[in-house]
Amino acid sequence: MGECAAARENVNPILPTGVREIIFPGALHQPIEDIMAEFQKLVFSGVQPTGNLHLGNYLGAIRKFVALQKDNDCIYCVVDEHALTAQLVHEDLRGQTRAIAAAYIASGIDPKKHIVFNQSRVMQHAELTWIFNCVARMGWLNRMTQFKEKAGKDRENASVGLFTYPDLMAADILVYRATHVPVGDDQKQHLELTRDIAQKFNNDFSKRIAELGVGVEMAVGEEKVNGYFPLTEPLIEGEATRVMSLRDGSKKMSKSDPSDLSRINLTDDADAIARKIKKAKTDPEPLPSELTGLKDRPEAQNLVGIYAALADTTKEKVIAEFGSRQFSVFKPALADLAVEKLAPIAAEMRRLMADPAHIDAVLRDGGERAGMLAEATMKTVRRIVGLLDD
Ligand code: TYM
C-alpha cells in the first residue's frame, strides 16, 4: 500500500517504468509505457450491485472474467454509481457492493494479480463521463433499447442518469483504454456506443492528439486518424451469452424479475436450485435428437445452453448425450450439475461476506491501483481537450 502511495506522487501522462509491476503484480510485467503508448491488451468489465446475482450474470460474464485472467491483465469493477441510475435510494448499497466483490473472488478472480474495486472510489470515471456527455449525441442515446425498457412509458420521469448511463459505461472502459470487454449479449449495444464515442473523440481531437504525441495512428476508412482511445472489442462468446428466465423462454433472466422462480441466484442452496429447475417451464416433448430440433423451443434451448455452459461443453454434445430423453431425466442431471458448480461459490461467498473489513481492504487496494491508471489517462485527456489542470 505504501508503495502505491509513493508511485502515485510520480503520476504523469506516461507512468514511470516499474509502476506497472505494482499495479498488476505477478501478471504480465509489461512496462507501463506500453499501455499508454500503444493499445496494449487490457480487459475491463463490471457488474451492477443491484439485486441478487444470478446464473445469467455468472455464465454470461463472471465465469469469463475468471478465464480471461490467465493470459491478460484484467480490471473488474463493481459499478456502484450505475446502481443509482434506475433507483436512487437503496436499502443496502454498500452491502450489495461487497456481495458482488465477494462473488468475483469466490468465483476465482485473483484481486492481487488483477484489480477488483468499486467504481465510486475512482472519481475519474465520473470526470470522463462529463467529457463523454459532450461527445455523445442525443440521437445516439435515444436509440438505446435498455433505456427504453428501463424507463418504460413514463420517460419524463426517468432520471437523467439513466439516460446518460451508457456514457458512464464508456468512461468505465476508456478511462483505462481497455481493449476487451467480456459481457453478456444484452450489453452489445452499449459497447457499440462506446466505440462510437471513442471514434468521435479520436476524430474530433486527432490533430491535438498528434501534436501532443499521445496517439496511435488508426485507419478510419480511407483516412488516418491519431487516436487516443482504442475501439474496444466486446467479448460475447459461448453457449450462455443470453440466459433466459426459467418461467418464460422469451424473457432474459434478470435481477429485477419479480418471480424468484425465474432465476437461479448465486446464493441459492442445493434445494432451491433443484426446486427451481424442476419447476422450470418446458414443453411436453422430449429433447430433440438433433441440435436443429431446438429451434422454436426456447425453454428447451435455454436449459440445454445452461447445461452446456456449466459443463464447459457445447449444446451439440449435450444433445448427443440427452437427445430423445424426457425432461424428467434431463432436469435432475442439470440440477446436480448446477449444484456441483454453484454450491462451492455460494459457500465461499458466505465465508467472505462474514468479513466485510477484508472485502473493503481488497476494494481499497484495487481502487488505489485503478486510480493510478485512470489519473494517467485523465491527465492526457485534460490536455487533449484543453482543460488547465496544472
Ligand atoms: P449487469 O449488472 O446488468 O450484468 C452484469 C453482466 O451480466 C451479464 N448478464 C447476462 N448474461 C447472460 N444472460 C443473462 N440473462 C444476463 N443478465 C446479465 C451482462 O451482460 C453483464 O455482462 N451496464 C452493465 C455493467 C457495466 C459494465 C461497464 C459492463 C457498467 N460499466 C463496463 C462492462 C463494461 C450492467 O448493467 O450489467
Q: Point out the ligand 1 atom lying closest to the alpha carbon of residue 169.
A: 31
Query: CB under 6 Å to ligand 1: residues?
Result: 44-48, 56-57, 60-61, 79, 82, 169, 172-173, 181, 183-184, 186-187, 241-243, 252-253
List all residues 6 or more positions away from 257 whose beta carbon is below 8 Å from its beta carbon. 245, 247, 251, 263
Ligand 1 centroid to Cα of residue 61, in Å, is 7
pLDDT of residue 4: 40
pLDDT digits (tens, 9 = 90+) for 329-367: 999 999 999 999 999 999 999 999 999 999 999 999 999
Specify whether 252 is catalytic: yes
Ligand 1 centroid to Cα of residue 348, in Å, is 22
pTM higher than the cut 0.75:
yes
Round to whole Å and give the CA distance between 299 and 244: 8
pLDDT digits (tens, 9 = 90+) for 228-279: 999 999 999 999 999 999 999 999 999 989 999 999 999 999 999 999 999 9
Q: Bridge-partner residues for 224, per DSSP?
A: 219
Backbone angles phi, psi at 252, to 5 degrees: -70, 145
pLDDT above 90 covers a percentage of the chain that reads: 84
pLDDT digits (tens, 9 = 90+) for 42-55: 999 999 999 889 99
With H, G, I as helix, E, B as strand and everything else as coil, classify residue 225.
strand
pLDDT of residue 20: 59
Residue 220 pLDDT greater than 50, yes or no: yes
pLDDT digits (tens, 9 = 90+) for 98-116: 999 999 999 999 999 999 9
pLDDT of residue 38: 64
pLDDT of residue 219: 78
Round to whole Å and give the CA distance between 273 and 334: 10
**Do 383 and 13 form a contact (C-beta atoms < 8 A)?**
yes
**Do 310 and 273 form a contact (C-beta atoms < 8 A)?**
no
Average pLDDT over every residue of 190-199: 96
Round to whole Å and give the CA distance between 254 and 273: 16
pLDDT digits (tens, 9 = 90+) for 271-322: 999 999 999 999 999 999 999 999 999 999 999 999 999 999 999 999 999 9
How sure is the predictor about 221, in pLDDT bands with cuts at 50, 70 and 90?
confident
pLDDT digits (tens, 9 = 90+) for 252-261: 999 989 999 9
Tell me the H-state helices in 205-244. 206-212
Sign for the CA dihedral angle at 313, 314, 315, 319 comes to negative
- For a mutational test of ligand 1's pocket, the pick from 186, 251, 264, i.e. the residue with the most ligand atoms closer than 8 A to its C-beta, is 186
Specify whether 224 is catalytic: no
The one catalytic residue among 41, 113, 188, 255: 255
Specify whether 200 is catalytic: no
Ligand 1 centroid to Cα of residue 221, in Å, is 31
pLDDT digits (tens, 9 = 90+) for 11-23: 333 445 566 567 7
Round to whole Å and give the CA distance between 390 and 123: 18
Round to whole Å and give the CA distance between 129 and 114: 24
